[in-house]
Amino acid sequence: MKANSLRKSEEIYSRSEKKYRELYENSPALYRTIDAQGIIIDCNKSYAERLGYTKEEVIGKSIFMHSSDDDIDSMKESFETWKRTGNVKNREVWFKTKDGTTFPTLISANNLYDENGILIGSNTIIKDMSETYEARKKIESEAIMRLQFEEIKKMEKLKDEFASMITHELKSPLTPIMGRCEMLKEPGLLGDLNSLQLDSVNKIYKNARRLERLVRDVLESQKLEMGRMKFDKEKIDVAEFMTEIHKEYLPLMKEKQIDFVDSTEEKLILTSDKDRIRQVIDNLVLNAADFTNKKEAKIEIGARNEDNKVVFYVKDNGTGIPKEMQPDMFKKFFQADTSLTRKHPGTGLGLVVCKGIVEGLGGKIWFESQSEIGTSFYFTLPKELD
């Protein structure tokens, strides 16, 4: 009876030990068994493979051989704590693989005792925290990036508000300067001027107008960036509108000896922002006048119907835009000639503003250009502004 009971106990023990060995050996967790001196006396397949060794290479080696060079002190402290208290749980230690790669882990130790209750070693469970650590790093990195982005946004807002204030302050004195120039040019209003004085006043007026245009471009660009540009709606007789523009620019074109043509023929009604459309056309016409300086120079403006849209255009037979520069024409501050002695001064914001206005009105803008043949700018607008 006793023999049967003992045999059954041995069988149960044998099965339990076998089951334990299977769990130990085949567990995806990293297991190692060490003695009281920190020598590895056993490990499972997962432990050896994660560190890049065979089991034979691991067994008999010190646990410190597998600690990261920068984390050996932490491993020693953990080992001494275990020897002193018999307890280590979720201690963070960095491990080092055979090829020198390091990875973070959490270590917990289950104690081993001899028949006299003396601590002789431990079964150590090592949890690979690489994925968790990477996820945490990503979250922290994203949080830092969000903070940096918010700071950049604040700085951009302050910069935009400052630029807006400065351009407004620059614009304010120009109105009385141009007003006085107009009064001085009016015969008998503030006294008669001789030809030299009149020429000087005309130059002041011309440069004040140019400065006004530059300041306006900066101001409008800031409004677009800050989302503060407002658009109005009104019914526009397009043919009448283009005739007005043509008449207003005729004196300038005659002075520059440019043949200026309005080829609008269709009767079109458009509901949109008249002042903003005029701003776009003004910019395109003045640009064309600047770059059309050859004999028999010609600028053509016009508008035509296309489905449910109106297509506006400004064409010239000037110098054209070199192919390599065409992709950058609508970029902020871009200029074909950036030298201090360039013939065509400006901020490089005019076309940026044009694009912003056209897109704000629900349209699109583009151009076609060939060197020495000329440039044609087009923009479409829906007949009804939403």
Q: What CATH number corresponds to the domain at position 99?
A: 3.30.450.20
pLDDT tens digits for 156-190? 777 767 766 766 677 778 788 888 888 888 877 77
Return the percentage of the chain with pLDDT > 90, whole number. 28
Return the percentage of the chain with pLDDT > 70, whole number. 87
Q: How far apart are CA 287 and CA 301, in angstroms?
A: 13
Nearest of 222, 269, 214 to residue 241 by alpha carbon: 269
**Mean pLDDT, to the nearest integer, of 305-325?**
90
Q: How far apart are CA 160 and CA 166, in angstroms?
A: 10
| pLDDT at residue 9, as a whole number | 46
Single residue among 107, 128, 149 that ends a domain in this structure: 128
| pLDDT at residue 316, as a whole number | 92
Nearest of 221, 261, 259, 214 to residue 242 by alpha carbon: 261
**167 plus 280 within the same structural domain:** no
**294 plus 309 within the same structural domain:** yes
**237 plus 221 within the same structural domain:** no
**Mean pLDDT, to the nearest integer, of 112-121?**
78
| pLDDT at residue 241, as a whole number | 96
Over 80: is that where the pLDDT of 217 sits?
no
| pLDDT at residue 334, as a whole number | 52
Q: How far apart are CA 94 and CA 66, in angstroms?
A: 9
pLDDT tens digits for 133-163? 888 888 888 888 888 888 877 877 777 677 6
| pLDDT at residue 313, as a whole number | 96
**242 plus 358 within the same structural domain:** yes
Is residue 270 within 8 Å of residue 238, measured between CB atoms?
yes
Average pLDDT, the chain: 82
- Residue type at position 211: L
**92 plus 143 within the same structural domain:** no
| pLDDT at residue 335, as a whole number | 55
Q: How far apart are CA 93 and CA 67, in angstroms?
A: 8
Higher pLDDT, 329 or 189: 329
Burial environment of residue 1 by CB neighbours within 10 A (0 to 12, 13 to 18, 19 or more): exposed
Question: Which residue is listed with tokens 């002789």?
Answer: 120
pLDDT range class, residue 15, cuts 50, 70, 90: low
Is residue 378 within 8 Å of residue 312, measured between CB atoms?
yes
Burial environment of residue 180 by CB neighbours within 10 A (0 to 12, 13 to 18, 19 or more): middle
Q: For 326, how many CA atoms within 13 A lie in the half-sphere containing its CB?
A: 15
**252 plus 316 within the same structural domain:** yes
**Mean pLDDT, to the nearest integer, of 270-295?**
88
Single residue among 112, 128, 144 that ends a domain in this structure: 128
Residue 265, SS3 per DSSP: coil
| pLDDT at residue 19, as a whole number | 63
Please state the domain count of the chain: 3
**107 plus 157 within the same structural domain:** no
**120 plus 200 within the same structural domain:** no
How far is CA 68 from its chain centroid?
38
Per-state percent for the chain, helix, strand, coil, to nearest 5: 50, 25, 25
Structure tokens at 331: 């970029």
Over 80: is that where the pLDDT of 303 sits?
yes
Q: How far apart are CA 127 and CA 46, in angstroms?
A: 11
**267 plus 317 within the same structural domain:** yes
- Which of 73-82, 89-98, 167-176 bottoms out in mean pLDDT, i.e. has the lowest? 167-176
Q: Radius of gyration over alpha carbons of the chain, in Å?
A: 41
Strand runs (DSSP E) across the chain, as ranges?
30-35, 40-43, 88-96, 102-113, 119-128, 234-237, 259-262, 269-272, 298-306, 309-316, 364-370, 374-382
Helix H or strand E encompassing 255: helix 238-255
**258 plus 381 within the same structural domain:** yes
Domain range for 90:
2-128
| pLDDT at residue 348, as a whole number | 63
Is residue 102 within 8 Å of residue 94, measured between CB atoms?
yes
**349 plus 250 within the same structural domain:** yes
pLDDT range class, residue 347, cuts 50, 70, 90: low
Nearest of 181, 247, 173 to residue 215 by alpha carbon: 173
Higher pLDDT, 363 or 224: 363
What is the CB neighbour count within 10 angstroms for residue 65? 13
**236 plus 350 within the same structural domain:** yes
Structure tokens at 50: 């994660």
**Mean pLDDT, to the nearest integer, of 195-201?**
86
Nearest of 212, 202, 216 to residue 255 by alpha carbon: 202
